[in-house]
Amino acid sequence: MRDVMTVMWKETQEFFGNRRFLWVFALAVLAMGVLPVLTLAHHSGPLASVTSSLGALFRGLYVLFAAVIVVGNTAPDLVLHERVGHTLDYLLTTRLPDYAIFGAKVLISFAIGYLAAMLALGIQLLATGLIGGAGWHWLILALPLGRVVIFGISAGLSLYVAVVGTFVALRVGEQRAAYLVSILSVGVLLIPFLVGWIHLSLTLPWVSHAAMIFGAVAVFLGLVGLRIFRRDMLVLYLQE
């Protein structure tokens, strides 16, 4: 665990020097915080945005978007950046075990995505409060369903995208290709989820299961990734 913390320490230090990341993070959080509130208010007047439960869930989706955008950018970037600068080579010469190197990247991307989701939520609540007045703007958190979407699905989804993004970037050398594959793989998992959302209607058990399935798939893929990506093979990928 100490090795994982070491790599995570390094990643957080690097974030402060990474302008692109800071921009993506700020824009995603702001956009996903403000946009849904404005569109709802525009369509149905200020009160609708704070009172209807459907509106609350609609805003919940934007919280998920914030997480996916941020993780989808961060996870591949953490790996590709190390490949371009040959620092991945350096990491492989150190005593750090493979799981610490990749595990730390997955955990950091996950944490950053979850943080983005929570910040987007905070901004949404703030914006709703400003537009619709105090009182009902906590609605999304008042619904159990809303809480599962906001806290559960965003966690499961962030972890899933973090795992896919990290391991895809290890195999795909090019930045755009890595983003594309990550986003596509998110799409693949989202399709049954959205189909279920429409057909089964939003019941609490269904949404809870979806959150857990995201998490379980993420953990499974993470373990498979660790088995596939041994350090003595990475050098070959590095030189492609």
Partner 1 sequence: MDGQEAIVFQGLSRRFGTRTAVSDLQFSVAHGSVFGFLGPNGAGKTTTVRMMVGMLRPSQGSIRVLGRDPMSEGEWVRSRLGVMLDNVGLYDRLSAAQNLYFAARIARLGAAERQDRVEAALNRVDLWSRRHDRVSGFSKGMRQKLGLARALIAEPQLLILDEPTAGLDPANIVMVRELLISLAQESGRSIFLCTHLLAEAQRMCDRVAILQEGRLLTIGDPNQLGSHGVPTVRLTLSGGDGMAVGTLALPQGAQLHALGGNEWRATVAADADIEPIVAALVAAKIGVRAVIPEQISLEEEYLRLVGGKDNA
Ligand X SMILES: Nc1ncnc2c1ncn2[C@@H]1O[C@H](COP(=O)(O)OP(=O)(O)OP(=O)(O)O)[C@@H](O)[C@H]1O
Contact partner at residue 92 from partner 1, ligand X, none, CB < 5 to 8 Å by partner kind: partner 1
Do residues 67 and 165 lie in contact, with contact meaning Cβ atoms separated by under 8 Å?
A: no
Binding positions for partner 1, rule: CB under 8 A: 2-3, 6, 9-10, 13-14, 16-18, 85-90, 92-97, 231-232, 234-236
In angstroms, give the least distance from the CB of 83 to partner 1.
10
Pick between residue 95 and residue 176 the one whose CB is nearest to partner 1: 95
Pick between residue 9 and residue 23 the one whose CB is nearest to partner 1: 9
Rounded Cα distance between 45 and 132, Å, is: 9
In angstroms, give the least distance from the CB of 44 to partner 1.
45
Contact partner at residue 18 from partner 1, ligand X, none, CB < 5 to 8 Å by partner kind: partner 1
CA 235 to each of CA 3, 7, 87: distance values in angstroms, whole numbers, following the listed order: 21, 20, 12
Pick between residue 186 and residue 234 the one whose CB is nearest to partner 1: 234
Contact partner at residue 17 from ligand X, partner 1, none, CB < 5 to 8 Å by partner kind: partner 1
In angstroms, give the least distance from the CB of 53 to partner 1.
44
- Considering the rule CB under 6 A, would residue 201 count as an interface residue with ligand X? no
Contact partner at residue 14 from ligand X, partner 1, none, CB < 5 to 8 Å by partner kind: partner 1
**Site of tokens 């973090």:** 162
Dihedral sign of CA atoms 89, 94, 95, 96 in order: negative
Binding residues among 207-236 for ligand X as defined by CB under 6 A: 236
Pick between residue 99 and residue 151 the one whose CB is nearest to partner 1: 99
Q: What is the length of the chain? A: 240
**List of residues 6+ apart from 238 with CB closer than 8 A:** 83, 88, 89
Residues that bind ligand X (CB under 6 A): 236, 239
